[in-house]
Amino acid sequence: MEKRKIIIDTDPGIDDTYALVAAFSYEGFDVLGITVVAGNVGLENCVNNALGIVNLMNADCRVYPGATASLVGLENAKTYNIESSVHGAGGLGTVTLTPDPTKRSDTHAVDFILETVKENPGEVEIITLGPLTNIALAIRKDRETMKKVKKIWSMGGGVRLGNRTPVAEFNYWADPEAAKEVYELIGEDVEINMIGLDVTQSTRMTLDDLFFLETECGNLGSLLSEMSNHYKKMYWEVLRFTGVIVHDLVAVMLAIDPSLSDEDDVYKQVNLQMECEGICKGQTVVQFSPSDDEPRNANVYMGIDNDNYRKAFFKLCFPESYSMYTKYIL
């Protein structure tokens, strides 16, 4: 199998951890590097979490610190900071991973992205699991190089749903100007796949799934289950919802296997616009049938088979337990 060249831009994050575990478990990915952006927690916590995940998975790649704030925040010399009731103070619930400081690079995330794309034009896919600040900064620095990215898989946005506000998903809400620039400046040249809340919120890791992770999936599964306890409590207290939605994992699983979504659930060559101000800040406005004068700058995923998605995750990451999972859990 010829491996696909992958950069993962992330803000770890409980769901980012699941996503990175899946990406590192997939033999078809050559993960060239992890670029980090402030998002679920501040940049240093996100970097340390990324270093911890790389160490946990014994992954042969480096971690590249990136933007400390949104585009507007950087312009005003402000550091991005948000109290994370969703992911806990450190970003991984009550879990603290041991970082490998030797995997931290002195190269800025934006420079790493541009250097890697220049060396591999038309071959690099970027999976984004946080705010799109690093990607927008790379476009501002060298738009022509960024047009040579093969594909972008972006967990963010929502057509009919929001989670930070009634209309805005967190990643795009955190830096709507960045999302706007990414779609507007390279969306007609690069295939951008938006995997938003319409898809992710149709999935669920059930309490049975989390129990199975804890009891039958070794140290890694137990760690993921423990990490999810904070998430699980939040979902129940806020939404009266049992189990957890692992948003970023959905993006990675679809990047691995887009057929997890039916063809009818993928709207290709649509027009996507971002709202950056006011009560609708962070909203994605999608025209599924754009007029001739509207740019076709996105593919938008709108659904996924939840059972097939969960099976694919367990088969990929815990193959030794997969037959028991399908027999007793599904």
Residue 80 to residue 82: CA distance in whole angstroms: 7
230 is catalytic: no
Residue 61 CB neighbours (<10 A): 18
- Active-site residue, selected from the candidate residues 11, 15, 16, 209: 11
Q: Which pair of structure tokens corresponds to residue 215? A: 């009891």
Tokens of 322: 């997969």
Separation in Å, CA 297 to CA 79, 129, 150: 30, 19, 14
Contact assessment for residue 198 and residue 159, using Cβ atoms and an 8 Å cutoff: yes
Burial of 216 from C-beta contacts in 10 A (0-12 / 13-18 / 19+): middle
Active site residue 247: yes
Catalytic site residue from 16, 230, 247, 248: 247
CA distance linking residue 95 with residue 103, whole number of Å: 20
Active site residues: 11, 247
